[in-house]
Structure 1
Amino acid sequence: MTRELDQMNGMPQFPEAYWLGTAELPAFPSLNEDIDTEVAIVGGGMTGLTAAYLLAKEGFKVAVIEAGKILTGTTGHTTAKVTTQHGIIYDELISHFGEEKTRLYYQANHDALTFIKNLVNEKQIQCDFSEEDSYIYTNSSQEIQKLINEVTAYKKLGINGEYLNEVPIEVEAKAAIVIRNQAQFHPLKYLKHLVEEFTKMGGQIYENTTAVDMEEGDQPRITTRDNHKVSCRRMIIASHYPFYDTKGFYFSRMSISRSYCLAVKPEKEFPGGMFINAETPTRSLRSAEMNGEQVIIFGGHEHQTGKEINTHRYYEALEAFARQTYGIKEIPYRWSAQDPTTLDKIPFVGHYSPTTKNIYVATGYRKWGMTNSTNAALLLTDMIVGRKNPYQEVFDPNRFHADPDVKKFLTVNARVAAELVKGKLESPSAQPENLKNDEGATVMVNGKRAGAYRDEDGQLHIVDTTCTHMGCELEWNNGERSWDCPCHGSRFSYEGEVLDGPAETPLKKLSGEA
């Protein structure tokens, strides 16, 4: 990918994540034959590869299949905060589930943080790991009471946190809460070590191998897009969004949102720590190092996937915030990511469905994936080995709570139904021949709705904009040059290839200028 800059603001013209641009990852072949293994893992992100490493240590024969390149999905597009401070969450969880279950949620993520810290120290993994305090701050009088309630929840749960009247960074803040002794790192450098250890133990990894179907039973079997079979005794679905969803109905129990990041070489020194604000729009800050020079990672601006066409404005807003706070020498990287959130905000980790005791799933991390994915790997390893795990009930994917699940279930699915109808009624006025270079839009082609993008060289790419998951109509995303689904979050490149699930099948390519 070129490092050309946008003419307007000096940002990279095409998105690229800082983590992917500053780590060298090994390459693996695609699967070109049928294989048999004890544990098959679908998804080569942090969950899948951590679980693979742990299970191989337990003596299992493990194979991982990844639709693209390992660690280039959500794991490669994170802010990489290793923290138990997942926004303002603990007061809310206590009100819904009580102190006991909320304490288990906290403890599971604290254990994950401790696991990462201990592994880095034990193996001397060079991954830019540093202990940092984690802050939530606000400059809004309306949000102060929420912080007071949250720090009260910290005290109930035994969390090492406190209330503050200021923060040590260049932002306006009336109040803040902090959890001490959290951490940050370079996730790809950390996971590269786990991958190397896993393959040394005989573990298999197959890239560019897309799972499209599976069969249940005593010996589950995965079918890939190239019609190869992976037979196993146990299966973990760690594909960010479950690739197989005929029983779990995860698409109806999660919502999908995107957020944005810039890596900025600042004019002023950042003092350390990890920060996020309480109000909207979200502002997240942490530091990293690039060729011996400090960069600040600015993140934020969460929105529902597929609901925004001009997403480039979020990058521009983050740039303005960066310039206002620490100044900008250069913006070497920009990127975005998306994550599913469950109805009750607790991830789904465990048995895929009540009737599939040898198939497991992990999803719904709500943008706090570093500890949640590690906890998922630890929990699923215990379940497969047969060890008792105190967190199994809390994260059970088959749980259901009358409050808040019912209201949110109705709200989410009513929105999906509205989007489905709305998309079918739209009649775009744009025509493909009128598009300028590097411009995309919904258009009319032979009397039907379609999506067109004219690239930098003037070549026109036209696709059917009907999502191959459940038939919703896609919307153009100008910041990422992708077609995004407002119903369940699937994303496709301008050439129609799947970027994010739950969709598995590429879009149909169309031809014609009119």
Structure 2
Amino acid sequence: MAVLEPFWRETADIPKFQTLEENGEADVVIVGGGITGITAAYLLVKAGLKIVLLEADTLLNGTTGHTTAKITAQHDIIYDEFISHFGEDTAKLYYQANSEALEWIQETVLAHHIPCDFKRQDAFLYATTEQSARKLETEWAAYQTLGIQGGLVGKIPFAIPIINALRMDNQAQFHPLQYLTRLVQFITEGGGRIFEHTTAVNVDKNGERTAVLTRDGHRVEAARVLVCSHFPFYEGLGLYSARLHADRSYCLACRTKTSYPGGMYLSVDQPTRSLRSVTYHGEELVIIGGESHKTGQGKDTREHYQALETFGREVMGAEKILYQWSTQDLGTLDKIPYVGPVTEGEPRILIATGYRKWGMTTGTAAAHLLADYVLDRDTPYRELYTPSRFQADPSLKKLIKENANVVANLVKGKLEKPDTHLEQLAKDEGAVITLGGERKGAYRDREGKLHIVDTTCTHVGCEVNWNAGERTWDCPCHGSRFSYTGEVVEGPAEKPLKKHHYDMLDNLTDEGSGY
């Protein structure tokens, strides 16, 4: 049976840190222990600043720890779109920022002799339909306009009937957690302080310095606050709940009969398929990813893993699935991340979010931009990434579409009448049920114990749905996720679901507000 953990976390020695138990102060407080927060901390410690990094869970257990770890500027079909919407200069800046991030990662790996399986690889987009093949031809024209090295190819070395493929030369892949744990070591050796299981819930902007407030009642004051917590724990006036959308996707790490031919691959047709290799105890495994969908929406999540396994058997002769995991990514209205002041005119609080599925380069580029803000250095990327931007085309159309989706799911959840009964739940099974005339979420664990929660998300009140693949309650509106006991797994929600106690006499009582 496959290990239900990311390959990366099972094959890296990740240090542990204590919870913050007192008030503190620093030059900069960083919230979020993923690639952006850790890279920014590394850069600022090197610059001689006093850094405190706060992580709500454990380091590298969020999106960074659940990636496919492709270090590439080939972020699906985007460059023709960027040229059309924003102009050639903006498209070129985006490519430049991500290419510089790749080069910096390689330089850092070489400078510190980090054993993280860093390898240069060509990256490929492939099309299996005539319509997508034509899009790749247009994208190749954009590559040529921007000076991106690559080319169109008629085949790829897999049993996949493609019509066209587009290569971007000399990209890379690595083991992200082996790389980042080395940066963590440099941070702590340089005097940076890291605290885990420390949830930031708000900021206090009174006075000359800004304080990050934690759920346990502590505060850390600093001149600057960097919000690198995937979904911003503090939104200011940025309305990020309306300007970010959450998607889930799935990965398998498997042993295959067919040897891997090299390169990194991504389909441009649906359902999405991603391929790359990885070294595991001297042997080569294949990471198969894809099956993207909106969080909290769609079919039984276990079917996504099954679809990837079927694909792996057909294309690579997958023999054994060693690891399987899922991840959550946030996208912006125009596909470019938000990096900079959380609200225009609020320079003491900076955010970085919205990397879609390309956090290895975009997260690194964001960390450099945040460091440039803190150190007051010139950079060509401020306007490109500024969170306050709003381009009517395509942002307005996307904003209307995403918020219509939110309203539809809010209404649907309130009107839905579950037909599953509590007694129907087998061990290790969860479902939305009607109990005492009310919509509730129920999970019967492997020992037979029932866990019942209110299904109303504590963010804006949408109704969560059961995710059987991860045993979580997922919100279809803004992507909040909760454990089967109701605890927050992923924001923007900050408060847990209300828990209930149920006895065999069909009596339902609160176990407390949960707040």
**TM-score normalised to the size of structure 1?**
0.96
CA distance in 2, matches of 1:355, 1:446: 50
- In structure 2, the CA distance between the partners of 1:69 and 1:185, relative to structure 1 (3 Å rule), is same
1:77-476 alignment to 2 at 5 Å? 77-217=66-206, 218-476=208-466
Q: CA deviation at 1:245?
A: 2.0
Contact 2:236–2:343 under 8 Å retained in 1: no
Gaps of 5+ in 1: 6-10
One-letter amino acid of the structure 2 residue matched with residue 179 of structure 1: M
**Helix, strand or coil at the partner of 2:168:** strand
CA distance in 2, matches of 1:24, 1:170: 36
Q: CA deviation at 1:246?
A: 4.0
**Helix, strand or coil at the partner of 1:28:** coil
Q: CA deviation at 1:272?
A: 1.1
Contact 1:137–1:277 under 8 Å retained in 2: yes
Q: 1:32 aligns with which of 16, 21, 43?
A: 21
| Number of the residue aligned with 2:34 | 45
CA distance in 1, matches of 2:202, 2:159: 50
- In structure 2, the CA distance between the partners of 1:98 and 1:296, relative to structure 1 (3 Å rule), is same
Higher mean alpha-carbon deviation, 218-227 vs 178-187, is at 218-227
CA distance in 2, matches of 1:269, 1:309: 32
Q: 1:76 aligns with which of 47, 57, 65?
A: 65
**Helix, strand or coil at the partner of 2:170:** strand
One-letter amino acid of the structure 1 residue matched with residue 502 of structure 2: G
**Residues 106-151 of structure 1, C-alpha deviations (whole Å, 9 max, x = no match):** 1000110010011111111100100000000112122111000001
Q: Is 1:477 aligned to 2:474, yes or no? A: no
Q: CA RMSD in A?
A: 1.0
**Helix, strand or coil at the partner of 1:128:** coil
Q: CA deviation at 1:446?
A: 2.1
One-letter amino acid of the structure 1 residue matched with residue 275 of structure 2: L
Q: CA deviation at 1:445?
A: 2.3
Q: CA deviation at 1:215?
A: 1.6
One-letter amino acid of the structure 2 residue matched with residue 260 of structure 1: Y
Give the 4+ runs in structure 1 shifted more than 6 A.
none
CA distance in 1, matches of 2:344, 2:327: 31
CA distance in 2, matches of 1:290, 1:47: 26
CA distance in 1, matches of 2:262, 2:485: 41
CA distance in 1, matches of 2:493, 2:302: 24
Q: Equivalent pairs: percent with the same residue?
A: 51
Q: CA deviation at 1:405?
A: 1.1
CA distance in 2, matches of 1:458, 1:381: 50
**Residues 250-286 of structure 1, C-alpha deviations (whole Å, 9 max, x = no match):** 0101111100000001111001110001100000000
Higher mean alpha-carbon deviation, 76-85 vs 137-146, is at 137-146
Contact 1:127–1:185 under 8 Å retained in 2: yes
**Helix, strand or coil at the partner of 1:511:** strand
CA distance in 2, matches of 1:315, 1:72: 20
**Helix, strand or coil at the partner of 1:403:** helix
**Residues 22-47 of structure 1, C-alpha deviations (whole Å, 9 max, x = no match):** 11100000001111111000100000
| Number of the residue aligned with 2:510 | none
Q: Is 1:492 aligned to 2:482, yes or no? A: yes
**Residues 335-378 of structure 1, C-alpha deviations (whole Å, 9 max, x = no match):** 00011110000000011101311110000001100000000000
CA distance in 1, matches of 2:318, 2:415: 44
**Residues 357-402 of structure 1, C-alpha deviations (whole Å, 9 max, x = no match):** 1110000001100000000000110111010110110000000111
CA distance in 1, matches of 2:234, 2:433: 32
Paired residue total? 503
CA distance in 2, matches of 1:165, 1:413: 40
Contact 1:309–1:475 under 8 Å retained in 2: no
**Residues 187-209 of structure 1, C-alpha deviations (whole Å, 9 max, x = no match):** 00000110000000000000000
**Residues 77-103 of structure 1, C-alpha deviations (whole Å, 9 max, x = no match):** 000000000001101111100100110
Q: CA deviation at 1:329?
A: 2.5
CA distance in 1, matches of 2:311, 2:401: 33
CA distance in 1, matches of 2:395, 2:258: 45
**Helix, strand or coil at the partner of 2:40:** helix
One-letter amino acid of the structure 2 residue matched with residue 437 of structure 1: K
Higher mean alpha-carbon deviation, 323-332 vs 233-242, is at 323-332
One-letter amino acid of the structure 2 residue matched with residue 220 of structure 1: T
CA distance in 1, matches of 2:433, 2:78: 42
Contact 2:235–2:342 under 8 Å retained in 1: no
Contact 2:236–2:342 under 8 Å retained in 1: no
CA distance in 2, matches of 1:293, 1:171: 24
Q: Is 1:54 aligned to 2:43, yes or no? A: yes
One-letter amino acid of the structure 1 residue matched with residue 147 of structure 2: G
CA distance in 1, matches of 2:38, 2:188: 11
Q: Is 1:508 aligned to 2:515, yes or no? A: no
| Number of the residue aligned with 1:8 | none
Contact 1:445–1:512 under 8 Å retained in 2: no
CA distance in 1, matches of 2:233, 2:216: 16
CA distance in 2, matches of 1:76, 1:329: 25
Contact 1:133–1:178 under 8 Å retained in 2: yes
Contact 1:435–1:454 under 8 Å retained in 2: yes
Q: CA deviation at 1:309?
A: 4.5
**Helix, strand or coil at the partner of 2:41:** helix
